[in-house]
Structure 1
Amino acid sequence: MSGDLYRLAMTVLHPGFEGTSAPDWLRRALGEGLGGVVLFARNAVSARLVRQLRAEHPGTVIAIDEEGGTVTRLEVMAGSSFPGNRALGVVDDVALTEQVGRQIGRMLADLDITLNYAPSADVNANPANPVIGVRSFGPEPELVARHTAAYVRGVQGAGVAACAKHFPGHGDTVTDSHLALPTVHASREVLAERDLPPFLAAIDAGVRSIMSGHLLVPALDPSMPATLSRTVLTELLRGELGFDGMLVTDAIEMRAVAAMFGPGEVAVRALAAGVDAICAGLTTEDELRELRDAIVAAVHDGRLPEERLAEAAARVRALSGWYADQAKARAQAHDDADEGVGMRAARRALTTTGTAGLDRGPLVVEINTRLNQAVDPATQTGVTAALASLLPNTGSVRLGPDGELPAFDDRPVVLVVHDAARHPWVRDIVAKALTARPDAIIVDTGIPAPPPGATHVATHGISRVSALAAAEWLLA
C-alpha cells in the first residue's frame, strides 16, 4: 500500500468553509495536500483570501460558481454584471456569448481562481424545472450546444478552467436535486438527441472539467444516481464521449445523494464510479477528516482500487498544471477587459410588448418567489433599485404567495415577477392587479408567461445589468 495514500485522498477532496478568511484547520489541510477549495458568497471572496489559500498550497484548485445572471458568488449583493445563460440564448450570438465568458473568466483570473463551475450545459426541456430555468441557454439542444461551447472557449481563453454541468443533463426534471433525487424519464435515444449534445460540444471545445448531476436516469442506470454510477460516468462519459478531464461531483451534502448514504460513502462510491474530485460545499475539520478516512479505509478494504484513487488525484493535479500554464492568457485577458459587454448583452436580450415611457417614480410591486437553492438567498431582481436610480420617488412593496395588493394611487404601477409561467399564484396576483390597473407594466425576470397586459418586458434573467436594461426601456 502506498505511503502517499492519505495525500491522494486529500487531493480529491474539495471542501467549502465558513468565514471570510481561511480557518486554521483549512490551512493545515492545504499543507497536507488538500486538492481544492470551493468558494461561496458567504466567504466574501477577495484576492487576499485566495492568497491565504495559495500560501499553504500554491497548486490547489480554487473553484467557484460564477455562472452570471442568477448564480453569482462575487456580485451577489449588487447583482451580476452579466445577464446569464437564458438571456444569451435569446440573443443567440455565439460571438457575444464567448465575449461574456471571456470577461467572466477575466474577473476570476484577476482573483487567481482556478476553476469556474460553469456553464450550465443543461437543456431546459421541461418548463416546470425548478432549479435550471434561466440558468440554461434554452430548451433546444443545438442552441444550448453552440452556446455551451462558446462560453467554454471564452472562460478558458481567459486562462481559467470551465466546468460543464450537470451531466448527463438536469433540464428535464421537476425536482431540485438540492432537496430530493430527481428522475429523468427519457429513453437513451432521447438523451442522446437532447441532453448529451451540449456536453459533447463542451468536450470538443476542450472543456477542462465536467460536473456530475445528482440525477437518477433509469435508461442509463436504474439503481444509482449519475454521480454514483460507473455506467454513467466511466462507460458513457469517459468511454463513449471521450472525456478525459477532471470530473467533479455536485455538492455531496445535497439531499439527492445525502438522503441515500453518509458523506464518506457518497465520496467512496463517486470515486469508484469515475469521479476525480469530491465537492463538499460546507465542511468542518472533523467532516473533512471523516471523508479522508472513509476513502483510505475503502482502499484498504478493496472497495476502491488505489489505482482509481491515484488516477483521480492525477486529474486534479493535471487541471492545476493546466491553470499554471495559462499565465500568459490571463495577463492578456486582463489587458483586454471589456467592461461593457454584459450591459450590451442584457439590452439585446430584452423582449418587449407595448410601450412604457415612464416619466415619474412608479410604485413597484415585487411579486416574490423563492429563487432555487443554487441561488444565494441575498439575490434580488434589482428592478426596483434600477428604477429608483433613474426616477426619484420610486416606491416599492413585496408580496409573497399570501400577500395582498396595495391600494393603488395615481402613480404608474410596475409589477415585477419571476418565472410567471411556473407559478399560478403569481399569475393570479398579476390578473388581480391588471383588473385594478389595466395600465400596469409587467417585468418578468425569469421564463415568462405570455404577456397578459399591454406593456410587458422580459429580461430572461436576474442580474444588475438586466434590471438596468429593463429600467432604461421603461423610461424610453
Structure 2
Amino acid sequence: MSYSLLEDAHAVILPAFASTSLSDECKRFLDRGGSSILIGESRNEYVARQMSFERRCTETAESFTSLVGEAKKLSNNLLVAVDQELGGICRMHDLVPQFPTNEELIGMSASEVEDITYRVAKASQALGVNVFLAPIVDLVTGVNPWLDGRTYSTDPEVVGRVSAAFVRGVQKAGVAATAKHFPGFHNITGDPAIDANAHVEDDADSYAPGFNPFADVIAAEVEMIMVGPAINKAFDPARAALRSKPVIEILKLDLRYQGIVMADNLDSKATMHGDSIEKVAVDAIRAGCDLLLTPDVGTQLEEVSKTLINAVETGNISRDALAQSADKIRRLAQKYTAKL
C-alpha cells in the first residue's frame, strides 16, 4: 500500500498531551495519517516524579480505554505510549501493579525483573497502552537535575542487566519498550526542558561505560531508542543530540542499531536553542530520527507536519527517507496493535 506525503508527514510525529481526552487538533492529526499518541503528564507531575493526588483519585481504567477507543476510530493501528519508568515516572500510577523500589530492584535477578515488568505491561496493555517510554539507561555519574530521582544505579552492569530484562518483560507482554536517552547524559549542566544552555561538557571517553547498557538493550531487541534533547559537546558542539547526525551515527553504525530512532521532546529549550520547533523537526529527520515527540499545543502538530511536507517538496528532506521512517512506525503500530 502506498501512502501520500501528507500521511507520511503525520506518521512520523508523536503528539504528547497530559489529559485523557483528545483535542480537536489531535483528532485531525490521527485522521490525516497519525499512527501514535503519548498520554503524558503535567510539568508539575514530571518534576514531582509522580502523578498528582487529584489525577490518581479521578483517573480510572475507563479513562484510558475510552481515550484509546476514540483514537482507534481515527487510526486503527495505533501506538499508545506512556512514561512508565523503573525508579522514575509511572504514568499508569495505581491502575497497574507497582514496580519494585530502587533498593529492591538492584538486588533482583534478571528473571525477577522480567516477571514484574511483564505483569505491569500486561495490565497496562489491558487498558490500551502498547508503548512504554522506558527504560532509562543513562548512567548518571555526575550532576543531572533532569534525571534526578529517575535512575537507580551507577553500575553499568546493573543498569544493562535490569534494562535488558525490562525490555524482554514488557515486549513479551505486547508493549514496545523505548530505551532512553542516547548517547547518555551522565553529567549535564541543567534541565534541558527549561535551560537552553544545558549541555554535556565531558570528553568522548567519558561516554564509554554508558554505551554498555545501550548495547545490552539492543541485544534484547528493544523496539525504539530515544535520542536526548541537549548538546553532547564531545560529539557535536553545535546541535542537540536528536538534531545531530554524528550522534545518531554512533547509535546506528558503532552500536549497529537498526530499530526506530525517536527524538525526545522537540520543544525542550536546550533542543531548540533559539530555533523554531519546525526547524528542529527537519533537523531531526535529516539527522536520522524516525519519530518526533511533539507536544500537542495549539496548532503545533499541523505546523510541524506542514514543515516536513515543505522540506520534502524543496529537497531539504529525502522523500524516500521520510517514507521509510513512516513505514517503520506503521509496521510497529500494526505489530503491537495486533497484540492488544
* TM-score tier (shorter): 0.7 to 0.9
- Matching residue within 128, 134, 137 for 1:112: 128
Shift of 1:134: 3.5
Query: 1:196 is paired with a residue of what secondary structure?
Result: helix
Match of 2:211 in 1: 196
Gaps of 5+ in 2: 43-54
Q: Deviations over 1:156-175 (max 9, x none)?
A: 11110000000111232241
Match of 1:22 in 2: 22
Match of 2:9 in 1: 9
Q: Quick check: 2:88–2:151 contact (8 Å CA) kept in 1?
A: no
Code of the residue aligned with 1:98 in structure 2: it is E
Counterpart-to-counterpart distance in 1, 2:3 and 2:174: 34
Q: Quick check: 1:89–1:144 contact (8 Å CA) kept in 2?
A: no
Counterpart-to-counterpart distance in 2, 1:228 and 1:24: 29
Counterpart-to-counterpart distance in 1, 2:329 and 2:87: 28
Shift of 1:301: 1.7
% of aligned pairs identical?
Answer: 29
Gaps of 5+ in 1: 328-476
1:231 aligns with 2:249: no
Match of 1:82 in 2: 99
Shift of 1:19: 4.2
- Matching residue within 291, 306, 322 for 2:319: 306
Q: Deviations over 1:275-304 (max 9, x none)?
A: 1111113323x2111101111111112111
Code of the residue aligned with 1:81 in structure 2: it is Q
Q: Quick check: 2:176–2:223 contact (8 Å CA) kept in 1?
A: yes
Query: 2:178 is paired with a residue of what secondary structure?
Result: strand
Q: Quick check: 1:88–1:97 contact (8 Å CA) kept in 2?
A: no
Match of 2:51 in 1: none
Counterpart-to-counterpart distance in 2, 1:18 and 1:98: 28
Larger Rg: 1
Shift of 1:41: 4.0
Q: Quick check: 1:123–1:137 contact (8 Å CA) kept in 2?
A: no
Query: 1:46 is paired with a residue of what secondary structure?
Result: helix
Counterpart-to-counterpart distance in 1, 2:192 and 2:124: 27
Shift of 1:258: 2.8
Code of the residue aligned with 2:121 in structure 1: it is G
Match of 1:160 in 2: 175
Shift of 1:74: 2.0
Query: 2:161 is paired with a residue of what secondary structure?
Result: helix
Shift of 1:80: 7.7
Counterpart-to-counterpart distance in 2, 1:62 and 1:100: 21
- Compute the TM-score of the two structures, normalised by the length of structure 1: 0.63
Question: How many pairs align?
Answer: 320
Call closer, same or farther: CA 1:138–1:174 in 2, change over 3 Å.
farther
Code of the residue aligned with 2:67 in structure 1: it is L
Shift of 1:142: 1.5
Code of the residue aligned with 1:29 in structure 2: it is F
Structure-to-structure mapping, 1:346-425, within 5 angstroms: none
Match of 2:260 in 1: 246
Q: Quick check: 2:40–2:83 contact (8 Å CA) kept in 1?
A: yes
Call closer, same or farther: CA 1:197–1:139 in 2, change over 3 Å.
same
- Matching residue within 299, 308, 314 for 1:295: 308
Q: Quick check: 1:68–1:80 contact (8 Å CA) kept in 2?
A: no
1:315 aligns with 2:332: no
- Matching residue within 44, 47, 51 for 2:65: 47
- Matching residue within 200, 210, 213 for 1:184: 200
Counterpart-to-counterpart distance in 1, 2:316 and 2:145: 36
Q: Deviations over 1:25-59 (max 9, x none)?
A: 32232121112111024694511111111111111
Counterpart-to-counterpart distance in 1, 2:3 and 2:331: 21
Q: Deviations over 1:225-270 (max 9, x none)?
A: 110001111x211122111111111111211113331111111100
Call closer, same or farther: CA 1:94–1:3 in 2, change over 3 Å.
closer
Counterpart-to-counterpart distance in 1, 2:20 and 2:157: 41
Counterpart-to-counterpart distance in 1, 2:267 and 2:119: 31
Match of 2:269 in 1: 255
Shift of 1:69: 4.2
Counterpart-to-counterpart distance in 1, 2:238 and 2:34: 32
Counterpart-to-counterpart distance in 2, 1:57 and 1:129: 38
Counterpart-to-counterpart distance in 2, 1:186 and 1:89: 29
Counterpart-to-counterpart distance in 1, 2:238 and 2:277: 19
Call closer, same or farther: CA 1:152–1:35 in 2, change over 3 Å.
same
1:132 aligns with 2:150: no
Query: 2:231 is paired with a residue of what secondary structure?
Result: coil
Shift of 1:100: 2.4
1:65 aligns with 2:44: no
Query: 2:37 is paired with a residue of what secondary structure?
Result: strand
Counterpart-to-counterpart distance in 2, 1:17 and 1:319: 21
Code of the residue aligned with 1:26 in structure 2: it is C
Q: Compare 42-51 and 263-272 and name the one that shifted more.
A: 42-51
- Compute the TM-score of the two structures, normalised by the length of structure 2: 0.87
Match of 1:434 in 2: none
Call closer, same or farther: CA 1:198–1:68 in 2, change over 3 Å.
closer
Shift of 1:305: 0.9
Q: Deviations over 1:419-474 (max 9, x none)?
A: xxxxxxxxxxxxxxxxxxxxxxxxxxxxxxxxxxxxxxxxxxxxxxxxxxxxxxxx
Match of 1:429 in 2: none
Match of 2:47 in 1: none
Cα RMSD after superposing both structures: 2.2
Counterpart-to-counterpart distance in 2, 1:198 and 1:301: 39
Counterpart-to-counterpart distance in 1, 2:87 and 2:158: 18
